[in-house]
Chains A and B, each alone.
Chain A
Amino acid sequence: MKGFGKYVIFLGSLFVRRETFKTYYQLVLEECIIIGIGSILLFVLVSTFMGAVSTIQTAANLVNPLIPRYIISQVVREMTILELAPTVMAIIYAGKVGSSMAGGLGTMRITEQIDALEVMGINSSSYLVLPKIIASILMYPLLVIVAGVCSLVGGYLVGTLTGIMTAEDYIYGIRLAFNPYFISFALIKSLVFAFLISSISSYKGYYTQGGALEVGIASTSAVTTSVIAVLLSDYFLAQLLL
């Protein structure tokens, strides 16, 4: 509970003694490039294979000849939109971006770069962390959309190229009984996950004490705590919004 209280105070400190809008604009832009461009290849790769594997596994489990083949792509669609794109990718996001945030801030802390900012009269948490959180909230939903599309494309490619189903069946299944609310649900989840991962990772990095070993521990702890927070919030959001 003490840690949670410190985390809440840390979040509060992001909004006091802020710098100018221009400063944040540049910092957010830089962070967006680091987070967005830096992660897109991994997201495309992982989500394409996830979609492909989901198609094969769903097909392998649908052995009843009475079940039409287009059900496969419908299942892949629902899995992708509801869980794979927002939640599973969040775990990958925590591993890549979260650990990088914690490591970067941790290194800045132990090499006194954060102290240097404070001595200059700059609110270091607001200057360093707020742009990361804003950039994360802006970029992660976009990455989730990219991941969702790639997953469905991956499923399509594997489904049609291996002969599991025809292209027409796949497209038909994807469009069948489509509930647009699930897209909104996925995007709401992605916003929450982006906030949790970036804020928790920044918190862990910002309060690192010690040396290189502790920076490593902070990075690991950032990923672990972020993943737990993502899974818990995933459950509560599902209960709340579905």
Chain B
Amino acid sequence: MIKINRISKAFNGKPVLDNISGEFDKGKTNLIIGSSGTGKSVLLKCIVGLLQPDQGSVYFDLRNFTEADKDMKSEIRREMGMLFQGSALFDSKNVEQNVMFPLDVLTTKTLEEKLDRVNFCLKRVGLENVNSKMPSEISGGMKKRVGIARAIVNNPNYLFCDEPNSGLDPQTSIVIDELIKEITEEYDITTVVVTHDMNSVMGIGEKIMFLYKGHKLWEGSYHEIMNSGVKELDDFVFTNKVMKNLKGKVTSL
């Protein structure tokens, strides 16, 4: 479980996150949603420690990550896996080397053990016979899969995904979403996904935190999102006519 407590962050005096608290449950796909520029990615970066919050704390299973020393932070980080918006695969390494990288630097496994694990993870995300391909030779969807394989290769306790569907077609997006959800349940890990994709919200949002202009306005599940009663959330969810009609039907039920 990850707990965030009164997180605030400002850039050049301009507040981006204001006093955000919440919990992300183990074994669930936790979503942070909101429009562009609301501070979703900043919050995620504060959680994983890429940004230092101005105030507040982040706890990983009761371990205070924000105030931990560098060695402790490093130890907790080794339990994390992260899928980045642009996949962040290492250009100079092929698919196999990319996925094997965390094992190379963080473990003392033999090459054979590492290869077994890499091939298992690649198979798990639906990729086979691509080991020798370079990141520039594979599609955006495949890059995301490789990114997920790399994120899970070292058996993380926490999985973070920053806009996992950005740049993907709707069908591939659903496949990636399902994969994230399956992996979360299969390995019983705490997954936090930042997204503004409503398909993801309705598909995998077991626990959702809605951010608006740096504030947390709502928290709930995708079952509850239709009738949240929060105007800003309604404006975010029901953006087109189809969704607005759907809201009308749900409200009348």
Contacts and interface: CB of A to CB of B under 8 A. Distances in A.
Interface in A86-136: 107-108, 111-113, 115-116, 118-123, 127
A1 interface: no
B88 A113 contact: yes
A222 B49 CA distance: 28
A127 B104 CA distance: 13
Interface residues of B, number: 29
A112 B86 contact: yes
Which of A107, A108, A120 has the most CB atoms of chain B within a 10 A radius of its CB?
A120
Interface stretch (B32-40, B69-77, B171-179, B207-215): B69-77
B253 interface: no
Interface in B87-107: 88-91, 101-102, 104-106
B105 A23 contact: yes
A113 B91 contact: yes
Interface string A76-92: 00000000000000000
B50 A121 contact: no
Given A16-B70, A17-B74, A19-B105, A119 B80 contact: yes
A111 B91 CA distance: 10
Contact of B106 (A108, A121, A123): A121
Nearest to A114: B88
A16 B69 CA distance: 12
Contacts of A120: 77-78, 80, 101-102, 105-106, 154
B52 interface: no
Contacts of A123: 74
A111 B74 contact: no
Contact of A119 (B70, B82, B105): B82
Interface of B: 45, 48-50, 70-71, 73-78, 80-82, 84-86, 88-91, 101-102, 104-106, 154, 160
5 contacts: A19-B105, A112-B86, A113-B89, A119-B50, A119-B81
Interface of A: 16-17, 19, 23, 107-108, 111-113, 115-116, 118-123, 127
5 A-B pairs with the lowest CB-CB distances in the bound complex, closest first: A121-B77, A112-B88, A121-B78, A116-B88, A121-B74
